[in-house]
Chain A
Amino acid sequence: MYALTSDGSSAVIFEGVSKSFGDIHAVRSLDLEIAEGCVYGLLGPNGSGKSTAMRMILGLLKPDAGVINVLGLDPKKDSMEVKRLIGYVPESPRMYEYLTAMEYLDFIGDAYGVDGEVKAERIDEFLEAFDLEGRENEMMNGYSHGMKQKVAIISAILHRPRLLILDEPLGGLDPKSARIMKDLIHRLGDDGVTTIFSTHVLEIADAVCDRVCVLYRGERVAEGPPQEIRARADRPGSSLEEVFLKLTEAGDVKEIVDALSE
Chain B
Amino acid sequence: MNLRIALRLSTILSLASVRAKRTMDPVPTGRFKSPTTNLTASAAAFIISAVVVFFFAARGSPLEVKLLFALLMVLFPSMTAFMAMVYSVQFEFSQSVEATSTDMINWLPISPEDYVIGSTLSTIYAISPILALIFGGTFGAAVYTGWLDLWAVGNLMGFMGSLIGAFTLEIVRSLMNRLSQALFKSRGQFAMITRTILSLMLLVLIQLLYNMTILMKVASWFSVSIAEAWFIPFLWPSLTVLNYMISDGAGALFYTGLSVVLTLIVFLAGVKARDMNWVPVPVSYRMRPVELRSLRRGILGRLGFSSVESAIIRKDFKSLLRRREMLTQFAIPAMITITFLVAQSGLIGGSVPPDQVKYGFFGMMMFSAVTLSMGLSLTCMGQEGGAFSNLRKIPIEPISIIKAKIFYAFLPTLLIVIVVFSMVLFFIGDLVTMLGVFLLGITGILDVIMLSTAIGVYYVDFTEVPRQRFVKWEGSFLAFITLIAIIIAVLSPFLYGMYRPELNLIPHTAFILSEVIAAAIAYVGYRIVVGEMNRLYDSEDL
Chain A 93-116 residues near chain B, CB threshold 8 A: 93-100, 103, 107-108, 110-113
Q: How far is the CA of A96 from the CA of B16 in the complex (A)?
A: 8
Q: How far is the CA of A80 from the CA of B111 in the complex (A)?
A: 7
Chain B window 458-477, contacts with chain A (Cβ cutoff 8 Å), 1 for yes, 0 for no: 00000101100000000000
Q: Does B353 contact A (CB under 8 A)?
A: no
Chain A 112-148 residues near chain B, CB threshold 8 A: 112-113, 137-139, 141-142
How would you classify the secondary structure of chain B's contact residues: helix, strand, loop or mixed? loop
Contact A112 B284 (CB under 8 A): no
A161 to chain B minimum Cβ distance, whole angstroms, is 11
**Pick from B110, B111, B465: contact of A96, CB under 8 Å:** B465
A21 to chain B minimum Cβ distance, whole angstroms, is 6
Q: Does A45 contact B (CB under 8 A)?
A: no
Chain B 171-189 residues near chain A, CB threshold 8 A: 184-185
Chain A residues near B279 (CB-CB < 8 A) = 60-61
B61 to chain A minimum Cβ distance, whole angstroms, is 49
Contact A90 B102 (CB under 8 A): yes
Contact B107 A98 (CB under 8 A): no
Contact A96 B107 (CB under 8 A): no
Contact B107 A58 (CB under 8 A): yes
Segment at the A interface, from B22-30, B154-162, B448-456 = B22-30
Q: How far is the CA of A88 from the CA of B108 in the complex (A)?
A: 9
Chain A residues near B278 (CB-CB < 8 A) = 60
Contact B8 A139 (CB under 8 A): no
A68 to chain B minimum Cβ distance, whole angstroms, is 15
Smallest CB gap from B98: residue in A: A94
Q: How far is the CA of A24 from the CA of B184 in the complex (A)?
A: 10
Chain B 463-513 residues near chain A, CB threshold 8 A: 463, 465-466
Smallest CB gap from A141: residue in B: B22
B277 to chain A minimum Cβ distance, whole angstroms, is 11
Chain B window 97-110, contacts with chain A (Cβ cutoff 8 Å), 1 for yes, 0 for no: 00100111011111
**Pick from B12, B19, B109: contact of A107, CB under 8 Å:** B12
Chain B residues near A100 (CB-CB < 8 A) = 27-28
Q: Does B268 contact A (CB under 8 A)?
A: no
Chain B window 314-339, contacts with chain A (Cβ cutoff 8 Å), 1 for yes, 0 for no: 00000000000000000000000000
Smallest CB gap from A142: residue in B: B26
Contact B104 A142 (CB under 8 A): no
Q: Does A22 contact B (CB under 8 A)?
A: yes
Smallest CB gap from B466: residue in A: A96
Contact B12 A99 (CB under 8 A): yes
Q: Does A92 contact B (CB under 8 A)?
A: yes
Q: Does B281 contact A (CB under 8 A)?
A: yes
Q: Does B209 contact A (CB under 8 A)?
A: no
The count of A-to-B residue pairs whose CB atoms sit within 8 angstroms is 87
Q: Does B215 contact A (CB under 8 A)?
A: no
Chain A window 60-97, contacts with chain B (Cβ cutoff 8 Å), 1 for yes, 0 for no: 11000000000000000000110110101010111111
Q: Does B214 contact A (CB under 8 A)?
A: no
Interface size on A, residues (CB 8 A): 36
Chain A window 138-181, contacts with chain B (Cβ cutoff 8 Å), 1 for yes, 0 for no: 11011000000000000100000000000000000000000000
Chain B residues near A61 (CB-CB < 8 A) = 279, 281
**Pick from A81, A93, A98: contact of B104, CB under 8 Å:** A93
B37 to chain A minimum Cβ distance, whole angstroms, is 13
Smallest CB gap from B191: residue in A: A22
**Pick from A112, A137, A138: contact of B108, CB under 8 Å:** A112
Q: Does B341 contact A (CB under 8 A)?
A: no
Q: Does B15 contact A (CB under 8 A)?
A: yes
Most buried by B among A93, A96, A97, A110: A96
A2 to chain B minimum Cβ distance, whole angstroms, is 24
A259 to chain B minimum Cβ distance, whole angstroms, is 20
Chain B residues near A21 (CB-CB < 8 A) = 184, 281, 284
Chain A residues near B103 (CB-CB < 8 A) = 94
Smallest CB gap from B11: residue in A: A107
Chain A residues near B9 (CB-CB < 8 A) = 107, 111
Q: How far is the CA of A105 from the CA of B27 in the complex (A)?
A: 16
**Pick from B16, B20, B465: contact of A94, CB under 8 Å:** B465
Q: Does B5 contact A (CB under 8 A)?
A: yes
Contact B108 A111 (CB under 8 A): yes
Contact A96 B26 (CB under 8 A): no
Q: How far is the CA of A21 from the CA of B186 in the complex (A)?
A: 11
Contact B27 A22 (CB under 8 A): no
A39 to chain B minimum Cβ distance, whole angstroms, is 20
Contact B104 A96 (CB under 8 A): yes
Chain B window 409-427, contacts with chain A (Cβ cutoff 8 Å), 1 for yes, 0 for no: 0000000000000000000
Q: How far is the CA of A100 from the CA of B106 in the complex (A)?
A: 20
Q: How far is the CA of A22 from the CA of B185 in the complex (A)?
A: 4
Chain B window 37-74, contacts with chain A (Cβ cutoff 8 Å), 1 for yes, 0 for no: 00000000000000000000000000000000000000
Chain A residues near B104 (CB-CB < 8 A) = 93-96, 155
Chain A residues near B28 (CB-CB < 8 A) = 100, 139
Smallest CB gap from A83: residue in B: B109
Chain B residues near A24 (CB-CB < 8 A) = 284
Chain A residues near B20 (CB-CB < 8 A) = 98
B5 to chain A minimum Cβ distance, whole angstroms, is 6
A163 to chain B minimum Cβ distance, whole angstroms, is 12
**Pick from B19, B26, B184, B185: contact of A138, CB under 8 Å:** B26
Q: How far is the CA of A155 from the CA of B104 in the complex (A)?
A: 10
Chain A residues near B102 (CB-CB < 8 A) = 90, 92-94
Chain A residues near B26 (CB-CB < 8 A) = 138-139, 142
Contact B5 A98 (CB under 8 A): no
Chain B residues near A138 (CB-CB < 8 A) = 26-27
Chain A residues near B15 (CB-CB < 8 A) = 96, 98-99, 103
Q: How far is the CA of A97 from the CA of B103 in the complex (A)?
A: 12
Contact B22 A139 (CB under 8 A): yes
A27 to chain B minimum Cβ distance, whole angstroms, is 14
Given contacts A83-B109, A111-B5, A112-B109, 18 further A-B contacts (CB under 8 A): A21-B281, A21-B284, A22-B185, A58-B107, A60-B279, A80-B109, A88-B107, A94-B466, A95-B104, A96-B104, A98-B19, A103-B12, A103-B15, A107-B9, A111-B109, A137-B27, A138-B26, A141-B22
Measured CB to CB, the residues of A under 8 A from B are 21-24, 58, 60-61, 80-81, 83-84, 86, 88, 90, 92-100, 103, 107-108, 110-113, 137-139, 141-142, 155
Question: What are 19 A-B contacts with C-beta separation under 8 Å?
Answer: A21-B284, A60-B278, A61-B281, A83-B107, A84-B109, A94-B99, A94-B103, A94-B465, A97-B463, A98-B15, A98-B20, A98-B463, A103-B12, A110-B4, A111-B8, A111-B108, A137-B27, A138-B27, A141-B463
Measured CB to CB, the residues of B under 8 A from A are 4-5, 8-9, 12, 15-16, 19-20, 22, 26-28, 99, 102-104, 106-111, 184-185, 278-279, 281, 284, 463, 465-466
CB-based closest 10 A-B pairs: A98-B19, A138-B26, A83-B109, A84-B109, A142-B26, A111-B108, A88-B107, A22-B185, A60-B279, A94-B102
